[in-house]
Each structure stands twice: as C-alpha cells, then as structure tokens.
Amino acid sequence: MGNKTDIKYLSPVDIELRQQNKYCRFKKMGIDYIDYKDPEFLMRFLNEQGKILPRRITGNSLKFQRRLATAVKRARQIALLPYVADNLK
C-alpha cells in the first residue's frame, strides 16, 4: 500500500520561470532598419559561438528576426562578424 502522505500531482505544476511576456525590442524602441554595418548592436543577438539566437530567447517578432538574420549574414560576409567563434562575448 503506497503511503497516503505523498501527494502525486496529476498535471505537472507549471512554475512561472521565464519573465512574464517577452516583447519585441525593435517594435518597442521603434527601430525600423537593422544596420548590418555596426557589429556591436548585432552581437547582442548572437551567442558565444557566433550563432544567431532563436526568437524564443530574444523575443523578437518574426518580421524583425528575419531582418536581423539578413543583417547578420551580410555582416558576416564582410568580416564584421565571425561565422564561427569560440569566445565572442
């Protein structure tokens, strides 16, 4: 007979871990053009290996995530951003 004391939750308890609601940084700040020429700004959206962070982490809207991706790829083309890096930050 299992002891009666331990309570088994049928549905997993969802713990609010991530911040409440992510916002699209570009919409909020009213930026309309992501410039591929300043790497400092673009680097915020790359992880340590130089990969583009996914939307679920940065919270970007689809429209701006695509523009960001093209800007990063253009910056990589002219060697402002690395394709592969080990300690970017």
Partner 1 sequence: MTTYETVFIMNPVLSEDQVKETVKKFVDHIKSNKGKITNEENWGLKKLKYTIQKKKTGFYYLIEFQADGQMINDFEVEFKRDERVIRWQTVKLEKFALAYADRRKKKLSTNAKAE
Beta partners for residue 46, in sequence order: 52
Decide if residue 45 touches partner 1 (CB under 8 A). Answer: no
Q: Which is nearer to partner 1, 49 or 77 (CB)?
A: 77
Could you say which of 33, 40, 86, 89 contacts partner 1 (CB under 8 A)?
Answer: 33
Rounded least distance, CB 57 to partner 1, Å: 23
Decide if residue 25 touches partner 1 (CB under 8 A). Answer: no
Decide if residue 80 touches partner 1 (CB under 8 A). Answer: yes
Task: Show the 3-state SS of 19-73.
Answer: CCCCCCHHHHHCCCCCCCCCHHHHHCCECCCCCECCHHHHCCCHHHHHHHHHHHH
